[in-house]
Amino acid sequence: MEATVELSIYPLHDDYKGRVKDFLKKIRSHSGLTIESNGMSTQIFGPYDLMMDCLIPDIREALDHQQAMIVIKIGKGILRFDESKLREE
């Protein structure tokens, strides 16, 4: 099953920017997933089982080494935003 994950990490540290960058670098090291980031969150697209196999250890490691909040949304299918669908014709 294809799925979309939207993930945000909020490290509770002064060095939050570096910690977010390190977390994103770790997530991007996995092959077979499409990853898109913006200023608010990161979207991950791909096979559900592969995403969970990759994300669960990465999330565990992040929480083992720092105080942080992680917000995750999961949806079935590839749920990319298509701005052209909003335009009136």
Token pair recorded at residue 37: 């980031």
Instruction: State the number of CA atoms in the 13 A half-sphere of 46 facing the CB.
Output: 18
Q: Which residues pair with 37 in a beta bridge?
A: 42
Cα-flanking dihedrals φ and ψ of residue 48, to 5°?
A: -55, -50
What is residue 43's predicted lDDT score, i.e. its pLDDT? 97
CB of 19 closer than 8 Å to CB of 66: yes
What is residue 86's predicted lDDT score, i.e. its pLDDT? 75
pLDDT, tens only, 61-79? 999 999 999 999 999 999 9
User: Domains in the chain, please, with CATH?
Assistant: 2-75 (3.30.70.930)
DSSP secondary structure letters along 15-32: THHHHHHHHHHHHHT-TT
Q: What is the pTM of this model?
A: 0.87
Beta strands 34-37 and 42-47: pairing type? antiparallel
What is residue 34's predicted lDDT score, i.e. its pLDDT? 96
Token pair recorded at residue 51: 């995403």
Q: What is the mean pLDDT of the chain?
A: 93
